[in-house]
Structure 1
Amino acid sequence: MKLVKWSHYLDLSIEFPIISTWISFPNLHPQIFSPRILHGPGSIFGRPLHIDNATSVGFRPLVARVLIESDISK
């Protein structure tokens, strides 16, 4: 299976080593659910792109999720 970014010029014969993945951080205090704070631990795994809506509004207080972009060839 290949995971690739979608574009108008997508060529499925070329493999892309960069993928987007959701990383979960369980058992965190809701006080640190800001994007500025969560991008720090997210950057350990790749380039942080986004935090999910449930994290940003505090809907799920025990788990924070960060979308990261990482190079799987490393």
Structure 2
Amino acid sequence: MAFDWWDKAQHSLAFLVLGGLGLLAYSEKPGRIVPGLLVYGASIELAQAASGWSYGDWQDWLAVSVRPTGD
């Protein structure tokens, strides 16, 4: 399958929104948001791979794990 930039951008945007919502909801524990989302994203890809009607894509997981750096 060809690499689809728009698909990866959508994954990144979705997890950026989830991360922002997580920070709003759990502002006292920001260090748990990113690891939690990484595990969640990996779980989604593994579930897709196991479903038989979809496929897991490590590039999708990579797209959700990339975040802007800078403090």
The structure that is strand-richer by fraction is 1
Please, what TM-score do these two structures have when normalized by structure 1?
0.31
With normalisation by structure 2, the TM-score equals 0.32
Q: Which has the higher helix share?
A: 2
